[in-house]
Structure 1
Amino acid sequence: MTLQPANLKDLELKTGASAGELLEKIRNLREKNIGMDRIADTQVYISGMFVLRRADLLEAANITHIISVLRGRVDKTLIEQYTTSGRHLHIEVDDDDDENLIEHFQTTNAFIDKAVRGGGNVLVHCAMGISRSATICTAYLIYKKQIPSETAIDIIRESRPIVCPNYAFRQQLNIYYENLDQAMRNLDDVPAYQRYLYKKEVEMSRMAHKAPTINHYGDDEAKEGSDMELKCRKCRRTLALSKSFVDHQAASPPIASSSRDRILNAVGLNKPNCQHHFLDPIVWMKPELEKGEMEGKLECPKCKSKVGSYAWQGMKCSCGVWVTPAISLAKSRVDESRPRSAL
């Protein structure tokens, strides 16, 4: 396991220790095959993989269930009693920004819950007990205590100061907390999760110099919950709702002088010198965006007049900010209005 620079920097800030001191501490943990820590007020323990070789520690802590969160096989001889009785769960992921760990949260939470209800203790381990296992434990605390991800991480750090989920896992934890009720019902229905997957797909596709595969498109009809909508200036067909707006930071934010301006500010539309509205993919764009082109124009699905453009490699807004990916409607081609449900 390689400790990522961003993780190491975060640990330096959180613990006050130097990078050398932290690395030495991690080496010591590995060499001594110890480092199993109980998370306060729970029946959950966290560690690296080397503690599996210490059957005496597992027995002393009454570990009845184990979650392994790492890529590759786990030595069967070390966990045979757990695998044969269905008390071992293996989540195969790397400690990498491209990994999707949030999709496993419901499975791991249910596994831990069942074990705890049966009076058992659960060990969650990865390679070093720093990022992947910490993410799974954080998701469990979010689920049980209804607390923000950073608060949950701080609780775990009280027992194990070296924990530090990587940046992508932190994003996923935030999405999970902010949409907990909906995520517990069906993660695929969470717009923030779909937006996260979309951005990851775009990043990977850009690296391969090809257009991304889009699995989720926003709605352009459900007015409920939308503060603003964009309509084709020529035929008045609704093209986008505020739920699909993508904000970008301009050099100097405008002063809201009216209630209309405040609404525009809130949804990220009211930018100085901006000539574009940037959006996530919307269902009417599907025929154009699935052509496989890196860039192209967008036409109103009703009157076929040009209303905008897209560029997966990004584009520079007139306000000076580079937006990637860029799906935009030209302000000169659309009108802004409030849906009746928002009046």
Structure 2
Amino acid sequence: MSLRNKITLKNANITHIVTVLRMEIQEDQFDGYEHLHVQVNDVSDEDLLEHFPSTNAFIQSGLNGGGGVLVHCAMGKSRSAAVCIAFMLHREPSALNPSEALELLRQARSLCEPNDGFMEQLELYHKMGCPDDVVNHPLYQRWQYERAVEESVACGRGPEIDNVRFEDEHEDTTNQDYNTPTEIKCRMCRRKLATLPFIIPHEPQEKRRQPRQMQKQFTDPSVGAIPCAHVFLHPLTWMRPSLFPSPSDNPDSKPEDNNNLFPDAPLSGRLTCPNTACGSNIGKFAWQGIRCSCGEWVTPAIGLARARVDVLDASVKRGALTTGAGIRLPPGFIRDHAKDSGASRESL
């Protein structure tokens, strides 16, 4: 309706129009205006995030030229509101978050309400720092990988190998400071499996359906917190044989099967140590997700079992006589007790 009200558009000094609709439009409606057409549906799984840099640049060009910009969709509620919020975030990334920008937008148009998927994308865009290049940003690529996994799982199969982002193969992660002291090693052969940048943090859900004793351990510092049973990781190169087993790994496979190196990937399975001389079972994966022992649901889930690995502080030198973070203490072991009883490192 706004497009047809030419008098109002003129009075508002509209020179640029952004159309956020997946449909055929009559181009003659935009005669005399600079026009950008973004074809997306108003559904939560639509990728609007990739269009934010182009819409931001277009809106800014209209304002820089002394004109006004009309951003419209079908109802002026979800898609167009999300595009406006993205522009506001891009201009003031440190001053506003998506929720604050939405409240500010509602002062002019109270019915604005981007769908949940668009709000999540705006949160991700804000977390990325509102860059001019979205598609090459590691957080966007990781989000795309997770979306591909979700779609595959919905079809009852594992993802395709080309859709999985192996974090240690990308420059943005390999150039990070990997002198971080935190290391995860196979308990059997001491093969290093991961460092801190590849660990996926997750927060335990407080007391959710926990037995009374476990609830006490979550809240009472004297009892000590219960560590999660698994350490969850991003996909890494050494996991390929476990995540995408080739037919040659199956003794029952037929010769013609070997033409397809990676057939349908399993939805879940075991993770084995990449050291061929070891090959011990060190964890499990489930593309559809795993509920951690803390109660949190992690999707997709690639987890190393704490009982099969050691999480170490590599900055603690071997031969040190003090009880440091590099020593894996038994559950419930209290260092003060060890000190008072005269226990040394050799006795642990």
Aligned to 1:275: 229
CA distance in 1, matches of 2:153, 2:241: 20
1:140 alignment partner in structure 2: 87
* Greater mean deviation of Cα atoms: 214-223 or 132-141: 214-223
**Post-superposition offset of 1:157:** 0.6
Structure 2 residue aligned with 1:105, among 44, 49, 52? 52
Partner residue, 2:132: 184
Aligned to 2:218: 254
Task: Flag the 1:175–1:314 CA change in 2: closer, same or farther, 3 A.
Answer: closer
Deviates more, 1:293-302 or 1:99-108: 293-302
CA pair 131-186 structure 1, distance change in 2 beyond 3 A? closer
CA distance in 2, matches of 1:320, 1:117: 51
Following the alignment from structure 1 to structure 2, what is the Cα–Cα distance between the partners of residues 256 and 184?
Answer: 47
Question: 2:285 — aligned with what?
Answer: 310
Aligned ranges for residues 37-52 of structure 1 at < 5 Å?
A: 50-52=1-3
- Give the superposition deviation at 1:186: 5.0
Per-residue CA deviations over 1:231-265 (Å, capped at 9, x if unaligned) read 2112323323333324153434735959xx8xxxx
Q: Is the 8 A contact 1:248 1:323 kept in 2?
A: no
Look up the match of 1:229: 183
Question: Greater helix share, 1 or 2?
Answer: 1
How far off is 1:189 after superposition? 2.6
Kept after mapping to 1: 8 A contact 2:56/2:90: yes
In the comparison of the two structures, how many residue pairs are matched?
Answer: 277
Q: Which amino acid in structure 2 is aligned with residue 235 of structure 1?
A: C
Point out the structure with max Rg over C-alpha. Answer: 2
Name 2:268's counterpart in structure 1. 295
2:86–2:122 Cα contact (<8 Å) kept = yes
Q: Provide Cα deviations, 1:38-82, integer angstroms capped at 9, x if missing partner.
A: xxxxxxxxxxxx211212221121111111111111222311333
Q: Which runs of 5+ in 2 are unaligned?
A: 209-214, 245-261, 317-324, 327-348
* Equivalent residue, structure 2, for 1:53: 4
Structure 1 vs Structure 2 CA RMSD: 2.9
* CA shift digits 1:105-143 (9 cap, x unpaired): 111111111121111211111111111111110010001
Task: Quote the residue 1:238 is aligned against.
Answer: 192
Shift of residue 102, structure 1, vs aligned partner = 1.1
Q: Return 246-255 or 62-71, whichever deviates more.
A: 246-255
SS of 2:125's equivalent in the other structure is: helix
State the shift of 1:338 in Å: 3.1
**Do the aligned partners of residues 72 and 335 (structure 1) sit closer, same or farther apart at CA in structure 2, a change above 3 Å counting?**
same
Q: Given the superposition, is the C-alpha separation of residues 339 and 295 from structure 1 closer, same or farther in structure 2, using an over 3 Å criterion?
A: same
TM-score where L is the length of structure 1: 0.72
Pick closer, same or farther for the CA change 1:287–1:123 going to 2, 3 Å. farther
Q: How far apart are 1:95 and its partner, in Å?
A: 0.9
1:321 CA drift (Å) = 4.9
Amino acid at match of 2:138: V
- Structure 2 residue 7 is matched with structure 1 residue 79: no
2:144 matched to 1:197?
yes
